[in-house]
Structure 1
Amino acid sequence: MEQLLAFLQAREPAVVTLVVIDSLDSTLYYTLAADLEVLHKLASAGLVFDCETVTDTTTPAIASILTGLLPEEHGIFTSNEVGTSPVNSLLELLDDAGLPTGAILETEGTRPLVGRISYVCPVDDREDIAEYDGLITTHTVSVVQKEEVRFVFAHLRAIDRFAHRNKDLHIAAQLTNKHMKNIAAAVSARAGVLLICGDHVAHLAENRRPKKTMGTVPLIASYP
């Protein structure tokens, strides 16, 4: 943690952009390295950590990432609970402190944030996950480009969708790589820092067997 904080403070970035890549666990991060070229280039120029996961589902995992609390501490297990939880996320804390923030994710997940942070960009769920992630990326770039914004959170889902349906993960990784290239360019243009992490272990057949541990996900910090 001290190493990461020192890295983030080293250049006083104009904007911090956090992208959670759904189901990107450490195994996939390394196995799909050729398809995730942008991520590995960012990692080689910055920092990368393998972090223990705290849950195997998305909503409580993202809540833990944004609050720093364990699921049993924040109590957020569904999108509706985001709106009823007494725990404020980093998005809300920063915005309340006068540092505008933005969130770009699936429509249900954004509803509790409307009126609580400066920029909320909902994207309706759809069968075409490539189109979905493309819209997430377009909105993310747009919000990052706003000079007043200091923290941006976005959520990409192609790898998770492909994993659930046993489709070719190389294709999902290539889609993700393309989107991350565009986001990284926008962050670079604002002299910002980019944080990229997974949320839980991918829901692949080999991962559905009971295990003693939850596995790990990568956390990358880089100045693009």
Structure 2
Amino acid sequence: MNLTDLMTAIRGGLVVSCQAGPAHPLRDTATIRRLAEAAVLGGATAVRCGGVGGLADIRAVADAVTVPVVGLTKRGDSGVFITPTVADALEVLAAGAGVVATDATARPRPDGASLQDTVRAVHDAGGLVMADVSTVAEGVAAAACGADLIATTLSGYTSYSTQLTGPDIALVRELTAELPAVPVVAEGRYHRPEHVRQALDAGAAAVVVGTAITDPAWITSRFAEVTDR
């Protein structure tokens, strides 16, 4: 997949993240595949998947949908854990993802490689890289390393980034101003349709929504919290 084809498919659209943690009732590859199929039926222009479910989820989703697949792995739950190594990135690509999402923060990577090493390896293998960042500086640095897309995924998830209960629309706006030639993808705590609209109006090329669409436990809790029980 090339960047032009990807952006034709997703620009101005909704990317749905289909993931479930290890203790979640939906933690099952067949279920993740059906979530992805349902999301596409509802209008998702791409699917982000993998995470704890790893390569099995990516393979299943890639086989089931015709929209682009953004794949990732997760190792642990702190530090650099989103597709943290070059080897992980190449495995994600081989599993069927057209785009590899990887941590692109300033923190050290566990294999000692640089983000540029990951970008180069993925490009050489015919894939694209979505750089998950938490600050403007990290986004600029990731673009300089050759990342194809910059995502605001990790804003609020590093100790030095802005801590918000909702999405970081300001980061979207700042990144699009700093990187007019690089698509910026909004991700992280997008819980309402108006959040998606705000991000697009701020310049996002696309918006990723996960929990608010694909986690019925979380959705139920939002309704339950206003009841008398």
The structure with the greater share of residues assigned to helix is 1
State TM-score, norm by structure 2.
0.37
Q: Which structure has the higher relative contact order (CA within 8 Å, separation 6+)?
A: 1
